[in-house]
Structure 1
Amino acid sequence: MNHKKYTFLICIFLLISNSISAHEGGHGIPSKQWELTTNELFKAHFISYENGEVWLMDGNHSIQTFQITDFAEADQKFIKTKNEFIHSLNSRTAIQLGSQSLSIFDWALIGFGILLLSFSVFKLIKQKTVVYLTHGVLGLGVILIVSCKNVNSTKTNNLEVPENNVAEMRAFFERFEDVSTHSDENYLYVSSNGLPDHDMMVGITNWQQQVPIKQNYTGDNSWAIPTHPKMAEHPLSTKTNLLKGAIAVAVNGIPIFNPLNNRGEDANAIGELDNWGGHCGRADDYHYHLPPLHLQDQVGAWNPVAYAVDGFPVYGETTDTLDEYLGKTNPDGSYQYHTIKEYPYFIAGMRGEVQLDPKTKAPENQVYPQPRTQELRPALRPLRGAEIIDFKFLGENSYSLTYSLDSKEYIINYNWDSEDNYSYQFINPDGSSKLETYTPRK
């Protein structure tokens, strides 16, 4: 066999290798149109089928579950056939080599490379012909290609990270008064009244006339942080997702929302945030839109200021190189986010796996579970030209907010009692006032 034929044979072998090792459907998960027994049609990706339950994922990464009997007969047959095929793929024989998995075909390729390398060495010694050195290099190349392919595959598919130290997490949160925690096998639950121990609202120049009141983030309505985080195969960009709900919880029990508001605007850039990176939502719920770096004064710059809802901690600024999600992987395999001075500030993408609320759609989707807030007063419009210049704690459950409008000062004094009766006194610059009272709907 001459040199050209030999080289051609190697190329064919490598092409066959690449073809056989490719998975069905390429690198994406094919979408399919599904039909329910109610004649409803929708598109989603097939995830799995087990014990009569079918798991699908729509284009917004929301996971939905159905009973197989919910589907039309043709789709039921498709699900069962697809499931059998997946199980057959997972049961194929593989040989373990250290932490990697080599298929029989990969071993055959390596054997072929070794044979080619040995043959060339033997011929080189016997006949001292340079052409056999080329064959040896080709044989070595086959071995290296197969080895690198498996190393890269191992790196890509290794999505496991160490579980969180729950005791350490609890210690960070419980440094703050009125914050408590409890845990189960999957989550650390953070309970608070939604009010931080620092001043609020001062510095806002784009204000929707909401003022901070307590929230019932307790019991089943607590914040849930995964204690066994896992890297997501397809991380969610926070630029096109999660414009609703929290993406992290600060260690003082205050939720942190996307730096973009629900209209996709940088809330910080348009004056919606106070000097601590927060403001109130429509339910008068105080929350941050920026990482609360001021908490480093209490927890230390070397400790996290928050935990993302995918389970990974959020730290302050760093000189280390960060990935496209503004995070980094540590030597022990753990992952952590860091902050930067400009948008996107932190968590450019949700690096860990999360479950999305099926009732929401991108970009205004949110991670599930998410505590509920209860609107007390009607949602109001922005008060153009107003700037909040003062906020005071007057006593238990009693606050005073002062804002400036047209060079005049207006005051809102408000409080609530033990029965959750809320009173608001609106004081005008001329001393006249108006009183409003509210009671939460049960």
Structure 2
Amino acid sequence: MLHAVALFAGLLPVVVFAHGTEEHCEAVMASVADAGFSDDVTVTCEGGAAIISSDTYPDHDLMTGIVGTNEQVPVPAPGYAAPIPLAPVLGDTPQTRDSALGVAVNGVPIFDYTAGGEMTEADLAHYQAQHDTLQTQQLDICGGHAGRGDDYHYHVKPVCMIAEMENAGPAAIIGWAFDGFPIYGDENPDGSAITENALDVCNGQMDATFGYRYHTSDDAPYIIQCIMGEVADIRQLPRISPLSNAATGDGIAPGRPPRGGVEGLVFTEDENGTRSMNYAYQGEDYYIRYTPSGTSNCYNFETRTITNGGEVVTGEYCR
């Protein structure tokens, strides 16, 4: 169940981050470098923000363990740029949206726990079991899945990423919210347990270094479900562009989780760059596979999905 709300709209003082922008820039850079992800993630500080850039495609296991698949596959998204404000200001009103609220230190976006943008500000204090991606078995063993844009992202604690981190431990920052505040794991940075009711509706609490910080948790909401810091316009925060047909410009229609879920879902990649997601449903085999087409950021797809009634569909799609 949701953590009790300790801090909520109207009860939280406005707090300005006490350190300078240079120190905040260094903290964001260090969080990526110390975790060991600098080869795949870059951080540049400009225009009052630390820009975390990646292709959003992690090198850990993907899609294994999913039962309630939405029949989407993870496809790299080169050029993804997530801005982290260098002078975060803690506001008094939680905000959320139907897309990422932050980014992990390996460059993978972080969403709230719901599946398809069901969360609104009015819903924040009420647990939505029917939309819980973990409980409805829509997530892989690493805490993520591919969304409607065939973009991989996390909805709960990114356990496989954390296992890869060179500095894994309670003091390690595992990500940054788009309001500029850091995200930690299940414990306080000093290793002590988080006391009952300490976390607010966004899964955050006050912090002596940054002014405020977020946490993951075993119980819902599992990870940040809203941001408490001020942002100019939450609707303008980055989103990953969906795939589009190279010939027509049409996008790929989002899949629909089949009733009862699928069996044996496996996602693989071979030495030629072909990625394939295979699974079974009611005795029939289905798949989504794609191979680099030769055009930058474009792929040749062949799919046989439950959503499309088992019809084999082909086409070149580009990011």
- The two structures have a TM-score, normalised by structure 2, of 0.75
AA aligned to 1:181 is V
Q: Which residue of 2 aligns with 1:440?
A: 318
User: Structure 1: how far apart are the matches of 2:162 and 2:89?
Assistant: 27
AA aligned to 2:257 is P
Residue among 304, 319, 322 paired with 2:173: 304
- The answer as to 2:126 corresponding to 1:233 is no
Q: Which residue of 2 aligns with 1:256?
A: 110
Q: Which residue of 2 aligns with 1:313?
A: 182
In the superposition, relative to structure 1, how do residues 412 and 158 fare at CA in structure 2: closer, same or farther (>3 Å)? closer
8 A contact 1:182–1:190 mirrored in 2: yes
8 A contact 2:156–2:216 mirrored in 1: no
Q: Which residue of 2 aligns with 1:8?
A: none
Residue among 374, 379, 382 paired with 2:257: 382
AA aligned to 1:228 is A
User: Structure 1: how far apart are the matches of 2:239 and 2:56?
Assistant: 11
How many residue pairs match? The answer is: 270
In the superposition, relative to structure 1, how do residues 330 and 172 fare at CA in structure 2: closer, same or farther (>3 Å)? closer
Structure number with the higher helix fraction is: 1
SS at match of 2:27: helix
SS at match of 1:395: coil
Q: How does 1:39-438 map to 2 (within 5 A)?
A: 156=13, 158-163=15-20, 165-174=24-33, 175-176=36-37, 177-218=39-80, 222-236=81-95, 241-242=96-97, 244-261=98-115, 262-264=117-119, 265-297=131-163, 298=165, 299-301=167-169, 302-318=171-187, 319-321=193-195, 322-324=198-200, 325-332=202-209, 334-357=211-234, 366=235, 368-376=236-244, 377-384=252-259, 385-395=261-271, 397-419=273-295, 420-426=297-303, 434=312, 436-438=314-316
8 A contact 2:77–2:151 mirrored in 1: yes
User: Structure 2: how far apart are the matches of 1:386 and 1:396?
Assistant: 27
**Structure 2 unaligned blocks of 5 or more:** 1-8, 120-130, 188-192, 245-251
- What is the Cα deviation at residue 312 of structure 1? 0.9
- What is the Cα deviation at residue 383 of structure 1? 2.9
- What is the Cα deviation at residue 327 of structure 1? 2.3
SS at match of 1:282: coil
AA aligned to 1:168 is A
- What is the Cα deviation at residue 388 of structure 1? 5.0
- What is the Cα deviation at residue 216 of structure 1? 2.9
Q: Deviations for 1:236-278, whole angstroms, at most 9, x for unmatched residues?
A: 3xxxx32x11111011101011112323421211122111111
8 A contact 1:256–1:291 mirrored in 2: no
Percent identical pairs in the alignment equals 29
SS at match of 2:288: strand
In the superposition, relative to structure 1, how do residues 156 and 421 fare at CA in structure 2: closer, same or farther (>3 Å)? closer
AA aligned to 2:45 is S
In the superposition, relative to structure 1, how do residues 183 and 226 fare at CA in structure 2: closer, same or farther (>3 Å)? same
In the superposition, relative to structure 1, how do residues 398 and 178 fare at CA in structure 2: closer, same or farther (>3 Å)? farther
Q: Deviations for 1:378-403, whole angstroms, at most 9, x for unmatched residues?
A: 32332333235211121353212121
